[in-house]
Amino acid sequence: MEFTGILGLIKLFGIFFYVGLFAIGGGLVAATFMQQILVDKYAVITTEKFYSMLAISESTPGPIGINLATYCGNEIYGPIGGVVTTIGEVLPSLIIIMLVSRFFFNFQKKPAVQAAFSGLRPATGGMILVAMVSVFMVSLLNIPLFKESAAILDLFRWKSLIFYAICLLVVLKFKKIHPVFIVLAGAAFGVVFL
């Protein structure tokens, strides 16, 4: 799919409106949708580039999904693409919140509404798990080496795996450490060792 001219902007808006409409559960669910559409379906962004963009979006202030939408739009179409994708991502939520705030209190006690929310919880959890596993695999495993002839030790990115284990231990042991320090350590590690 080509993203050029005004038609390209309309396509981008439509894609991100779709993502914003169906990404119930937050930014990581939106990231899963974006990966499926932009990387897997249309191949306008490479897998490595997408996960680098996701890492930057998680590290910057603000909601991950909106940061990633802006970054993707900017990468594909330039600054105007960033604006269009951000609007596309946010607009469904604004519309839905205005409708829900208007009518929710009249319907919140209905069994069908409560059942719908009960069903959304595990579905959202599954989408977040898919995003987590995808980031984990790209970060810590040498995916192209998953062949029968590859040695088991060659399947892992050992530097990244050791750093991940250290960060995990630090977070679990020192619960008062601020996450910003872990993010900064990750950025420094990437610059120095990767």
Q: pLDDT tens digit string along 25-80? A: 788 889 989 999 999 999 999 988 998 899 899 888 889 999 999 999 999 999 99
Q: Please give the pLDDT value at position 148.
A: 57
Residue 28's Cβ-count burial label (10 Å; 0-12, 13-18, 19+) is buried
Q: Please give the pLDDT value at position 147.
A: 55
Q: Please give the pLDDT value at position 185.
A: 92
Backbone Cα Rg of the chain: 19
Q: Does pLDDT of 169 surpass 90?
A: yes
Structure tokens given for 138:
């790209």
Q: Does pLDDT of 149 surpass 80?
A: no
Residue 89 has phi, psi (to 5 degrees) of -70, -40
Q: Please give the pLDDT value at position 58.
A: 85
